[in-house]
Amino acid sequence: VKYLNAYTGTVLLRCRKDSCKLLCSALPFVRLLESRNQRYPCFLNTLHVGGTIRTCQKFLIHYNRRQLLMLLQNCTNEEERRNIQKSLLSCSLTEEQSQSGDEEDDDSTE
């Protein structure tokens, strides 16, 4: 696991190219995650398979922006709209993240 965001429910997994198909086919069968003797129900869905962690990060930024735009269209009041617009403007890679993504090799998946 290279990245985990419990708030958005997003996980970025890294594996070798030759194991990518096996991992993608196994993910839908994971129904529970266990941590400290607690079981959490889950559903894992492949959104993107990329060659580098940086391309996966870029995909996640674009994906989150699209999700926020859909939320923006469904706003019921002006306060919700302002909060979502603020979130949209904050979706960007920082210089530190983009440099660390350059160091990764081409064997990553999400």
More confident residue, 88 or 47: 47
User: Does 109 map to a domain?
Assistant: no
Residues 59 and 29 in one domain: no
Q: How many domains does the chain have?
A: 2
User: Does 36 map to a domain?
Assistant: yes
Residues 41 and 57 in one domain: no
Q: How many residues in the chain?
A: 110
Half-sphere exposure (CA, 13 Å, Cβ side) for 9?
A: 10
Contact indicator for 54, 101 with CB cutoff of 8 Å: yes
Residues 57 and 40 in one domain: no
> Structural domain of residue 64, as residue ranges?
52-91
C-alpha 69/C-alpha 73 separation (Å) is 6
Residues 41 and 58 in one domain: no
User: Does 108 map to a domain?
Assistant: no
pLDDT at 33: 85
| pLDDT tens digits, one per residue of 32-73 | 988 888 998 888 888 999 988 899 989 988 988 888 788 888
Average pLDDT score over the chain: 79
Contact indicator for 81, 21 with CB cutoff of 8 Å: no
Percent of the chain with pLDDT over 90: 18
